[in-house]
């Protein structure tokens, strides 16, 4: 990534306008026979979420698209012509924005199938599988400019177990970024429980020029998710 002034590109507003189409609603959902209360509450939250409505109106795969918009606007994660890896790509919201903003190539991976998006090379595979990193780099054909991860472990309901599984995903994503990024590249990943673990933070601070936590406005109120942003990859220690 050069220090030249980046080409101008079309920006998408990250925050839904407070008009009649996206204002907070209060649509109630009837409890159906056999439906768990947690499912009813989730459905009600979806129906009343202005970001869900705005994402649908703009043709985005998910409300998560607004999170990437906010993070890119604030931290300049990517530039036109970048090669990008999208870990946990389904349903494709982050990829859509990256391509809209001029990414040359996006290689995405997820256990869940992602419907085709022009510019996306998709691998349906568990990122934690031993062969996943090689499958990604084979499609890239070179070092990526940005590794972005919205990976989240399937929850078991056991808080300690879920935390350990989430930490393992974040660490695996960080290791992949350090192993593959070109010098000057960037990394962004979802984290929980108030931020990244101290050991991981230390590793990233040793290998990137800037490391920060951020919580986009489009993250749901009460959600424990945050994002860890690492900018300006210094290069692998062995090189």
The strand pair at 105-110 and 83-87 is best described as parallel
Let me know if 190 is a catalytic residue: yes
- 3-state secondary structure (DSSP) of residue 110: strand
Per DSSP, which regions of 111-218 are E strands?
120-124, 146-149, 186-191, 208-214
Q: Which two tokens stand for residue 135?
A: 């499958």
CB of 94 within 8 A of CB of 116? no
Q: Kindly name the residue from 54, 67, 190, 203 that is annotated as catalytic.
A: 190
Angle subtended at Cα 238 by Cα 175 and Cα 110, rounded to the nearest 5 degrees: 20
Per the CB < 8 A criterion, the answer to whether 153 and 165 are in contact is: yes
Host H or E run for residue 94: helix 93-100
Return d(Cα 122, Cα 161) in angstroms, integer: 29
- The Cβ of residue 23 has, within 10 Å, a number of other Cβ atoms equal to 11
Neighbours of 213 (CB within 10 A): 13
Known catalytic residues are 190
């Amino acid at each position: 990534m050069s220090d030249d002034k980046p080409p101008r590109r079309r920006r998408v507003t990250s925050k839904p306008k407070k008009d009649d189409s996206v204002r907070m609603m209060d649509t109630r959902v009837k409890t159906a026979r056999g439906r768990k209360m947690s499912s009813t509450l989730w459905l009600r939250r979806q129906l009343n979420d202005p970001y869900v409505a705005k994402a649908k109106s703009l043709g985005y795969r998910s409300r998560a698209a607004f999170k990437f918009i906010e993070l890119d606007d604030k931290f300049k994660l990517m530039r036109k012509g970048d090669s990008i890896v999208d870990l946990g790509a389904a349903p494709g919201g982050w990829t859509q924005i990256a391509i809209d903003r001029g990414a040359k190539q996006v290689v995405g991976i997820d256990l869940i199938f992602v419907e085709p998006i022009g510019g996306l090379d998709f691998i349906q595979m568990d990122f934690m599988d031993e062969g996943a990193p090689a499958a990604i780099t084979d499609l890239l054909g070179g070092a990526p400019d940005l590794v972005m991860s919205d990976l989240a472990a399937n929850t078991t309901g056991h808080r300690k177990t879920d935390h350990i599984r989430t930490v393992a995903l974040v660490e695996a994503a960080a290791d992949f970024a350090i192993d593959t990024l070109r010098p000057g590249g960037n990394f962004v990943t979802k984290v929980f429980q108030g931020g990244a673990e101290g050991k991981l933070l230390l590793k990233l601070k040793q290998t990137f020029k800037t490391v920060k936590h951020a919580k986009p406005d489009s993250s749901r109120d009460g959600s424990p998710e945050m994002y860890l942003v690492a900018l300006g990859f210094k290069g692998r220690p062995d090189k």
